[in-house]
Amino acid sequence: MSNLKKILKNKNSCKSVWFMRQAGRYLPEFRKIRSNNPNFIELCLNSELSSEITLQPIKRFDLDSAIIFSDILMTPYALGQEVNFIKGQGPKLSDFIIEKFLDNTEKNFSQKLNQVYKAIEKTRKKLPKEKSLIAFVGAPWTLLIYMFNINKEKKKSEINKIIDKKNNIKNILDKLINFLCVHIKNQIEAGADVVQVFDSWAGLIEKNNLKDFCYIPNKKIIDFCKKSHIPSICFPKGIGKNYKEFNKIVKPEGINLDYEIDPLWAKNHLRQVVLQGGLDPRNLLKDEAKLLGEADRYIQIFKEIPYVFNLGHGLLPETDPDTLEKLIKFYRKI
Ligand code: CP3
């Protein structure tokens, strides 16, 4: 069993380190491949290259887990929306057409993502068995933000109004959840052994809507994972002290802290769950003493409980890989 799976299942406190966005733009070896592959979706669907990119940070840093190189937006892509990444603007999806969305079948959905599963198979073969291969999906709310092209600059209350206005929002959510579970199942069958659910925009939800748009959708996915014996980690970014209620309701095996959560508060209030991450990725852009001082704070606070070393959001493209290497060595030495 992989090191991460063991920690999540047995809640033991052995050391484990990986980073969100560990396969990405801060690595020159990634940028080299990317410069020859301008279409990001096509790159995600190139199983040979996608497996190679997944393994790049493992080769460089010998991390304990690999996360498959893909994207949360592969789900709306497989459900028929066009996905474009415009430089400097972020992702842009073609209009959401309800009839088209409802026409999807599990079979056509899985077929469109076949190369992602091939990439997982290839990667698993090359990865030592003590290393985890992490599958992932976007949480329903975060995917809706992209699927409806909702402008995140808008005020929270306005965002909720837009969501309220969409017809059949509950039906859309449930159908989406169904496809996300299929995507998880396919990734696990291809060789992944843990799943992380990214709710990167949960922080935009008003408190009185958290139950409907964050807790319940995440819970439905985690209930599916439990039934299928798949260990899971949730990342409801930006919900502050509501992490406590999230944990009580959703009950995943692991929970990733974001950089706004006070680690001491988390240690005292988030029980019966393996904690992961928290360190602000911007610390990697500061001088070494500051970075290691901040890292040490997290390591010391969590040293007696099961904790997976990671960040409070993804690695930034400006990160120097040598700085990351120093951080990993520091964590492993303690
Ligand atoms: O190393 C890994 O973490 C594995 C691969 C991975 C990517 N995206 C590759 C990627 C994972 C797990 C994701 C998740 C993802 N994608 C999230 C959730 C986590 C988070 O960061 O909050 C979200 C919201 C997305 C959507 C997305 N994909 C955006 C907003 C962008 C553009 C800008 C950005 O944030 O990087 C992407 C593109 C993307 N996904 C890149 C990579 C390496 C950059 C591609 C490039 O331009 O070269």
For 93-120, the pLDDT digits (tens) are 999 999 999 999 999 999 999 999 999 9
The length of the chain is 334
Residue closest to 277 by CA, chosen among 299, 251, 249: 299
When pLDDT is cut at 50, 70 and 90, the band that residue 288 belongs to is very high
Q: In a mutational test of the pocket of ligand 1, which residue from 22, 41, 56, 71 has the highest number of ligand atoms less than 8 Å from its CB?
A: 71
Evaluate: CB of 40 within 6 angstroms of ligand 1: yes
Cα atoms found within 13 Å of the Cα of residue 34, Cβ hemisphere only: 13
pTM of the predicted protein model? 0.97
CA distance linking residue 244 with residue 223, whole number of Å: 18
pLDDT in tens, 112-149: 999 999 999 999 999 999 999 999 999 999 999 999 98
Pick the more confident residue, 161 or 100.
100
214 lines ligand 1 (CB under 6 A): no
pLDDT of residue 167: 58
Residue nearest ligand 1's atom 22 by CA: 200
CA distance 118 to 101: 25
91: Cβ below 6 Å to ligand 1? yes
Looking at ligand 1, which residue's alpha carbon is closest to its atom 5? 69
Pairing assessment for the beta strands 254-257 and 274-277 based on DSSP bridges: parallel
Which two structure tokens, joined as six digits, stand for 69? Answer: 């190189």
Res. 161 pLDDT band, cuts 50 70 90: confident
Q: What is the band of 166 on the pLDDT scale with cuts at 50, 70, 90?
A: low
Q: Up-side HSE of residue 126: CA atoms within 13 Å toward CB?
A: 17
